[in-house]
Amino acid sequence: MLLRLRKNLGPSELESVLAVARDLDLATRFLDAQRTVLELVGPADPRARSRFEDLAAVSAVLDSSDQPELVDRTRDRADTVVHIAEAVFGGDSASLIAGPCAVESAERLFEIAASVRAAGAALLRGGAYKPRTSPHSFQGLGAQGLALLAEARARTGLGIVTEVLDPRDVEVVGRSADAFQIGSRSMANAALLVEVGKSGKPVLLKRGLAATVREFLLAAEYVLAQGNPNVILCERGIRGFDKFTRNVLDVGAVAHLKLATHLPVVVDPSHAAGRADLVRPLARAGLAAGADGLVIETHPAPHEVHSDGAQAVSLPLFAEIARDAQAILALDDRHLRPTLYSPLGSPQLGV
Ligand code: PEP
Ligand code: MN
């Protein structure tokens, strides 16, 4: 690892750096006469980079490739493959997560669950606790919503993904959910990340609306640091300056994350676009960039919903997206799980 130090450090400032190096068992050597580039050699420790970044005397960590963090892809770490019910994310497998933004009524939820299952979704998503920007907006059905999700699972066999907003709710939400969603607004809630980490259940971690890729990965690091390897990174668009879409889908981040980490990555084109007519092309782009799955908001009557109606795709459109997904994955020798079958029994390659 190489550190760039600030110029003209006093002895005590320099000592602050050397003390951390000693604590981590790292040998130190200056590489330049001005004593601003410090080489550190010793055992790999995922804490090292952050410990040095926090020091006022350090202006940059130049190279930390020998100090991998838990999320980093390294030669000896195979792809993490996360299994949730029939869904498989990572390696050569991808799956689809679909459902309404929020759980609103039993009839609608069961109708959507049955249709998305028939169209190829492996998991049902729906919020019982909704993280709304305004406290006056619909906040979700809470415990009643959780009970409906559990009932939908019993009826269809679909695994359930639902958001948990509060560390105190992890246990109760975990009773109805097969995976926790951590929403954008909660990505940096360390207490919540620690709690879902301790649960051991899979975590769908959404990127914060203005989070850098590094901040996103450090949020995942919190979960992994609790001994829970089942993290799926979800790119859902970041805030841009133009209003023609709700957010800007960062396809570059999807491709980068696939190279930089061993974790599966999924794309949520619904919250990125904010409009139903762009969901299908963005879904295609996400999978082509290497995503291991999609999260799609789906509803038969978008004008009736209390949250995110404008971006909800119809059930027939979701079925087309599922066919697209299978065809795009096949280009990379990857597979949609479960596989879609045409009436003739061979995979349907949609266009
Ligand atoms: C959602 O999934 O409905 C949601 C609120 O998403 P995000 O946290 O990405 O805004
Ligand atoms: Mn939503």
Residue pLDDT, tens place only, 337-350: 999 976 554 445 44
Fold topology of 2-63: Alpha-Beta Plaits (3.30.70)
Which tens digits make up the pLDDT trace of 174-224? Answer: 999 999 999 999 999 999 999 999 999 999 999 999 999 999 999 999 999
* pLDDT above 90 (res 314): yes
Q: Band of the pLDDT at 243, cuts 50, 70, 90?
A: very high
User: Within a 13 Å sphere around the CA of 67, how many CA atoms are in the beta-carbon half?
Assistant: 24
Check pocket membership of 246 for ligand 1, CB cut-off 6 A.
no
Domain spanning 82-350: CATH superfamily:
Aldolase class I (3.20.20.70)
CB atoms within 10 A of CB 151: 15
Check if 2-63 and 82-350 are the same fold.
Answer: no
pLDDT in tens, 323-334: 999 999 999 999
Ligand 1 atom 1: residue of nearest CA: 101
Percent of the chain with pLDDT over 70: 97
> 237: CA distance to ligand 2 center in Å?
12
Token pair, residue 195, equals 């709690």
Across the chain, mean pLDDT equals 95
- Encoded tokens for 245: 């879409």
**Peptide linkage before 338 cis (omega within 30 of 0):** yes
Tell me if 131 CB under 6 Å of ligand 1: yes
Ligand 1 nearest-atom number relative to CA 125: 2
Q: What is the pLDDT of residues 254-309, one digit of tens each?
A: 999 999 999 999 999 999 999 999 999 999 999 999 999 999 999 999 999 999 99
Phi, psi of 327, rounded to the nearest 5 degrees: -70, -40
Task: Work out the percent of the chain whose per-residue pLDDT is above 90.
Answer: 93
What pLDDT score was predicted for residue 342?
64
Going from N- to C-terminal start, the domains of the chain cover: 2-63, 82-350
Instruction: Say yes or no: CB of residue 183 within 6 Å of ligand 1.
Output: yes
Please give the distance, rounded to the nearest whole angstrom, from the Cα atom of residue 27 to the centre of ligand 2: 50
**Predicted pLDDT at 351:** 42
CB of 206 closer than 6 A to ligand 1? yes
